[in-house]
Amino acid sequence: MSQYTFLPPENFLGLDAEHTAYETSQAVVVPIPFEATVSYMGGTKNGPRAIIQASTQIELYDRDFRGEPALDYGVHTLPYLALGHSTIEAALESIAAAVADHARAGKLVVGLGGEHTVSVGVGRGLAAVHGTPLLTVQIDAHADLRDEFEGSRYSHACAARRLLELGPVIQLGIRSLAREEAELIDAVTDQGDTLRTFFAEDIHAGPAYLATLAQWVRGRKTFLTIDADCFDPAYVPATGTPEPGGLTWQQVMAIVRTVARNANVVGFDVVELAPHPGMHSADFLIAKLVYKTISEIMAARKL
C-alpha cells in the first residue's frame, strides 16, 4: 500500500461488521475532508462527516430493488483521509494514491468531499488503474472549466478543466459559467468527442437528453462526479455557492441511472456539501444519493 495518513474511522450506513469487512465489501467509501480554494461560503471540509452521520439514519430497504442492496454488496468505510500538505498538488497526489490502491483491489471507490478539487485526485487515481481516456460525467451547477482561478490551476473552479486532461467530460445541470468557459464550450462541443454540456434548461425541457447521454457513455470507463450544488437550493441549500434554477431529486436520479446502466462506472464522488446547523435535510439527501448511486452501479454490474 502507498504511504498516506488517515484520521479516525466512521461507518457509512451504520452497517454491521459482517457487511463492512474490507475483503468482502464491493464498495469502499473514502472520506476526503479537503478545503483549500473555496471562493464564497466555506464548510465543505465538514461534508464527509455530515454525510456519514446522516447515512446511519437511512433505511436500508429500497423499493426500487425490493430489498436491502447494501447487504448484498457490502460497504467498507475508510478513515478520513488526512491532507495536511503544504501544497494542493501534494494533497491531490495523496488522494490519487489512496483511490488507486482501492481501485486496484477491485473496489468501487466512492469519494466524499470536500471541495470539488478533490475530484481531480479521485479521477487521477482511477485513471492510474483503469487507464485513459477516462470519461467524466459531471453533474454540477458550475462549469468548473477555468484553466486557472485566483492564481491556482487546482482551484475548485478548475476541476473539470483538469479532468479534461484524463479524457472527455460530459456536464449536466450547468447554469453558471464565466466567459472563458462559455467560449471553451462553444469551441469544442461541435468538434467531436471531447466536451458536451447540457445546461439546466436542457434538463428541464424533458428527458430527451437522456438518450444522447446514454449514447455518449455506453460501454466506456467512467468517473461520475456529483456536486451538491447541482440540486436546486430548495433541495440542498447547504452548499457554498447555491445557484437558482437547479435540478430536482428525480432529475439527478434519472442521470445517475442512465450513466450506471450504460457506462462502466469505475468510481464516483459527491462533493461540495457544506453542512449548516439546522439544515440536516440536505445532509440526509446527499447521504441517500450516495447510497442510491452505489446501488444503481452495483445492480448494473449484474446485468
Q: What is the CATH number of the domain that holds 156?
A: 3.40.800.10
> For residue 2, is pLDDT > 80?
no
pLDDT of residue 148: 86
pLDDT at 237 over 90: yes
Cell numbers standing for residue 64: 426500487
- Domain membership of residue 292 (yes or no) is yes
Please report which confidence band the pLDDT of residue 104 belongs to, taking 50, 70 and 90 as the band edges: very high
Rounded to 5 degrees, φ, ψ at 221 are -65, 125
Closest CA to 6 of 97, 74, 129, 142: 97
Task: End-to-end CA distance of the chain: give it in Å, rounded.
Answer: 32
Q: Which residue has the cell 495536511?
A: 84
Tens of pLDDT, residues 44-86: 999 999 999 999 999 999 999 999 999 999 999 999 998 877 7
* pLDDT value at residue 278: 85
53 by Cβ neighbours in 10 Å (0-12 / 13-18 / 19+) ranks as middle
Task: Give dist(CA 211, CA 243) in Å, integer.
Answer: 26
Count the neighbouring beta carbons within 10 Å of the beta carbon of residue 192.
9
Q: What's the whole-number mean pLDDT along residues 187-204? A: 85
In the prediction, which pLDDT does 204 show?
A: 98
Would you say residue 2 lies in a domain? no
Residue 27: which residues within 8 A CB-CB, separation 6 or more? 73, 74, 75, 76, 107, 108, 110, 294, 298
Q: Assess if residue 4 is contained within a domain.
A: no
Q: Per the structure, how many domains does the chain have? A: 1
Q: How far apart are CA 149 and CA 246, in angstroms?
A: 24
**Cα–chain-centroid distance for residue 251?**
16
Q: What is the mean pLDDT of the chain?
A: 93
Return d(Cα 67, Cα 149) in angstroms, integer: 46
In a domain, 243, yes or no: yes
Q: What range does the domain containing 277 cover?
A: 12-301
79 is a domain residue: yes
**What digits encode the pLDDT tens for the residues 206-219?**
999 999 999 999 99
* In the predicted structure, residue 96 carries a pLDDT above the cut 90: yes
1 lies in a domain? no
Domain membership of residue 260 (yes or no) is yes
**Assessment of whether the complete model's pTM goes beyond 0.85:** yes
**Is 38 a domain residue?**
yes
pLDDT at 286: 98
The whole-number pLDDT of residue 182 equals 95
